[in-house]
């Protein structure tokens, strides 16, 4: 028992180490490739295969996909293709194991250890990590194989394997449970190959374990999707349905499938590895024409509307900057900035809703919006910098300078929304509550901040000078309110009406709301100066 557990642990550690080394070698390109994924399911499958081969874990790939869908970096349709590819990519580990390169285990560990611990260059250390992981995989397999050898003479285990050979559905259940517990289909397949190598298990029983491991590996993504966005949960559910339905489809046709597998190789371990690969490839080909229906199915099973955050520029095309007249280009920038400002305003609304309701459900949404706002600021600023080199007249040059300042102000609004949402942890952890008077004051200043921000964005969009002037007046009013509220809160603190923890959080909130109004005022001044 201990030998089997220890061998499995070494095997999993080796897979993790080799995958981690390969991921380091690939750098940040893995995530960048996923972010730039096209809407083509075929491209998604190719990318899913490639990433899973590199990180040696379909579970890690699907968890990454779920997190990317949750962050709005991938659509549900894009995620499906990557998930299908991940199932194919993970079969490479079984193919490596079936090669039976056990004689290379100790030399690989020795060489990998020397490189990993003695090399000075990061690239050489990473290469050593890959080799060390490779050696640990086969050392773990050796230990597992030796540990299961006595099971050949165990009547209970022998009868269990015989029943699984007649009723593969039992193998599916066992394979799903084991993989769900250890959260690694590669380890389940490795154990199956070890049993086959000792002549303990036959191909029919092994197929049940292979099908079951495909179902069990979906547990990781299902667990990772808890508490995420609706589409992220749908992506995890698609992974589960795809692997489960695949097993259900193949079980009635097990005999012809076994005939194909037996023709693919002579030795049983290689047949099992090939079966794992062939099953996942055929399963992908079967479902490929029905991806749209799969998406509709999970939408039906998990109904609701998902708020989709649009990333990137919508009104600006940097490729055409040199061809556009300055006034048109600046008009496009203005529309993009208004869109960016609306996103910052909604982020502020989410942050205040979280604070007032004493919950952190909107925290992740604010963080996602903040990331998009930062990206928009970078892209708009780069566009304006390129446009400034086009030889603008004095009027256009003055407006461009004003827009450069305004885009920074709008980005800072997003920052303040993010700062506000970070205060949630302070409040919830310390169980801090505000008095009714403090809540009323916060709400009054918040409403003024929203009103000022909305008016400044409308003034920016339309050039409404009267509206811009109102924002300037409201900013002066906000300064008076902020000073008054600070004094009142200090008085409440001295009288023991408010707790010290509440005072700190309260002052942080009104400070951030005051800065939001300041930035709205700066945008309004830009409009007044421009016209």
How far apart are alpha carbons 439 and 427 in whole angstroms?
14
Contact status, residue 116 vs residue 132, Cβ threshold 8 Å: yes
How far apart are alpha carbons 485 and 475 in whole angstroms?
15
Structure-token pair, residue 88? 């194919």
How far apart are alpha carbons 141 and 376 in whole angstroms?
50
Whose CA is closest to 172, among 213, 219, 212, 214? 212
Angle at 370 between CA 351 and CA 388, to 5 degrees: 135
Whose CA is closest to 409, among 335, 341, 352? 341
How far apart are alpha carbons 83 and 284 in whole angstroms?
10
How far apart are alpha carbons 203 and 103 in whole angstroms?
25
How far apart are alpha carbons 528 and 460 in whole angstroms?
9
pLDDT in 10s for each residue of the chain, 531 residues: 555 566 666 655 665 565 565 555 544 455 555 555 545 677 778 877 877 776 656 766 776 777 667 666 667 777 888 888 888 887 877 776 666 666 667 777 777 777 777 777 777 777 777 777 767 766 765 665 566 555 545 555 545 555 766 677 888 888 888 777 766 677 777 777 777 777 777 888 888 888 888 888 887 777 767 766 677 788 888 888 888 998 888 888 888 888 888 888 888 888 888 888 888 889 888 888 888 888 888 888 888 765 556 667 777 777 766 666 777 888 888 888 899 999 899 888 888 877 666 555 567 678 778 888 888 888 899 888 888 887 778 888 888 888 889 999 999 998 888 888 877 666 555 556 677 787 888 888 889 999 999 999 998 888 888 888 998 999 888 888 888 888 887 787 777 676 666 677 778 888 888 999 999 999 998 888 866
Sign of CA dihedral 322, 324, 326, 328: negative
For 215, the 3-state DSSP assignment is helix
Whose CA is closest to 20, among 97, 131, 140, 182? 131
- As a 3-state breakdown, the chain gives helix, strand, coil percent values, each rounded to 5, of 85, 0, 15
Length of the chain: 531
3-state secondary structure 287-308: HHHHHHHHHHHHHHHCCCCCCC
Can you say how many angstroms the Cα of residue 268 is from the centroid of all Cα atoms in its chain? 38
Angle, helices 254-264/268-287, rounded to nearest 10 degrees? 120
Whose CA is closest to 269, among 388, 97, 403? 97
Phi, psi torsion values for 331, nearest 5 degrees: -65, -40
Helices (H), 56-101: 58-70, 76-89, 91-98
What pLDDT score was predicted for residue 517?
A: 92
- Domain 321-530 class in CATH: mainly alpha
Burial 66-91 (b: 16+ CB within 10 A, else e): bbbbbbbbbbbbbbbbbbbbbbbbbb
Whose CA is closest to 217, among 89, 23, 60, 46? 60
Task: Give residue-wise pLDDT tens across range 99-151.
Answer: 666 666 777 777 777 777 777 777 777 777 777 776 776 676 566 556 655 55
How far apart are alpha carbons 77 and 74 in whole angstroms?
8
What pLDDT score was predicted for residue 36?
A: 55
- In angstroms, the first-to-last Cα distance of the chain is 81
For 252, the 3-state DSSP assignment is helix
Per-domain boundaries in the chain: 2-301, 321-530
How far apart are alpha carbons 351 and 356 in whole angstroms?
9
Sign of CA dihedral 91, 93, 94, 99: positive
What pLDDT score was predicted for residue 113?
A: 77
Can you say how many angstroms the Cα of residue 420 is from the centroid of all Cα atoms in its chain? 23
Helices (H), 251-325: 254-264, 268-287, 291-301
How far apart are alpha carbons 314 and 302 in whole angstroms?
30
Can you say how many angstroms the Cα of residue 101 is from the centroid of all Cα atoms in its chain? 35
């Amino acid at each position: 028992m201990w030998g089997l557990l220890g061998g499995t642990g070494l095997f999993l550690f080796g897979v993790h180490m080799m995958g981690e080394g390969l991921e380091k070698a690939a750098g940040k390109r893995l995530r960048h490739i996923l972010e730039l994924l096209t809407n083509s399911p075929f491209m998604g499958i190719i990318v899913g295969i490639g990433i899973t081969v590199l990180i040696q874990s379909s579970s890690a790939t699907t968890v990454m996909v779920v997190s990317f869908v949750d962050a709005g970096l991938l659509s549900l349709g894009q995620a499906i293709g990557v998930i299908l590819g991940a199932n194919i990519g993970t079969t490479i580990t079984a193919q490596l194991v079936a090669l039976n390169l056990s004689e290379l285990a100790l030399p690989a560990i020795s060489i990998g250890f020397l490189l990993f611990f003695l090399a000075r260059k990061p690239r050489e250390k990473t290469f050593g990590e890959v080799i060390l992981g490779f050696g640990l995989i086969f050392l773990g397999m050796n230990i597992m194989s030796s540990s299961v050898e006595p099971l050949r003479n165990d009547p209970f285990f022998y009868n269990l394997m015989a029943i699984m050979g007649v009723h593969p559905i039992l193998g599916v259940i066992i394979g799903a449970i084991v993989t769900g517990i250890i959260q690694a289909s590669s380890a389940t397949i490795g154990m199956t190959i070890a049993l086959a190598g000792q002549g303990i298990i036959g191909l029919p029983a092994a197929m049940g374990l292979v099908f079951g491991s495909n179902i069990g590996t979906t547990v990781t993504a299902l667990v990772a999707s808890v508490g995420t966005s609706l589409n992220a949960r749908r992506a995890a559910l698609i992974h589960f349905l795809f692997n489960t339905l695949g097993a259900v489809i193949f079980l009635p046709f097990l005999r012809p499938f076994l005939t194909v597998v037996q023709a693919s190789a002579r030795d049983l371990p290689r047949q099992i590895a090939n079966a794992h690969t062939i099953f996942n490839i055929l399963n992908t080909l079967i479902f490929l024409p029905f991806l749209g229906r799969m998406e509709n199915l999970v939408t039906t099973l998990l109904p609701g509307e998902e708020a989709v955050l649009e990333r990137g520029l919508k009104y600006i095309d940097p490729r055409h900057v040199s061809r556009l007249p300055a006034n048109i280009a600046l008009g496009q920038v203005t529309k993009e900035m208004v869109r960016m400002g609306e996103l910052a305003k909604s982020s502020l609304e989410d942050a205040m809703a979280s604070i007032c309701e004493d919950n952190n459900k909107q925290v992740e949404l604010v963080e996602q919006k903040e990331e998009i706002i930062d990206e928009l600021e970078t892209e708009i600023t780069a566009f304006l910098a390129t446009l400034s080199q086009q030889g603008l007249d004095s009027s256009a040059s003055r407006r461009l300078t004003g827009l450069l300042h305004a885009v920074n102000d709008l980005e800072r609004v997003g920052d303040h929304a993010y700062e506000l949402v970070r205060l949630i942890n302070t409040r919830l952890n310390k169980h801090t509550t505000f008095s009714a008077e403090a809540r009323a004051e916060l709400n009054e200043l918040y409403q003024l901040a929203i009103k000022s921000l909305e008016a400044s964005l409308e003034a920016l969009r339309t050039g409404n000078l009267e509206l811009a002037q109102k924002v300037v007046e409201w900013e002066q009013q906000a300064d008076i309110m902020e000073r008054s509220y600070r004094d009142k809160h200090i008085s409440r603190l001295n009288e023991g009406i408010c707790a010290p923890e509440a005072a700190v959080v309260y002052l942080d909130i009104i400070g951030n709301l005051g800065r939001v109004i300041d930035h709205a005022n700066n945008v309004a001044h830009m409009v007044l100066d421009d016209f």
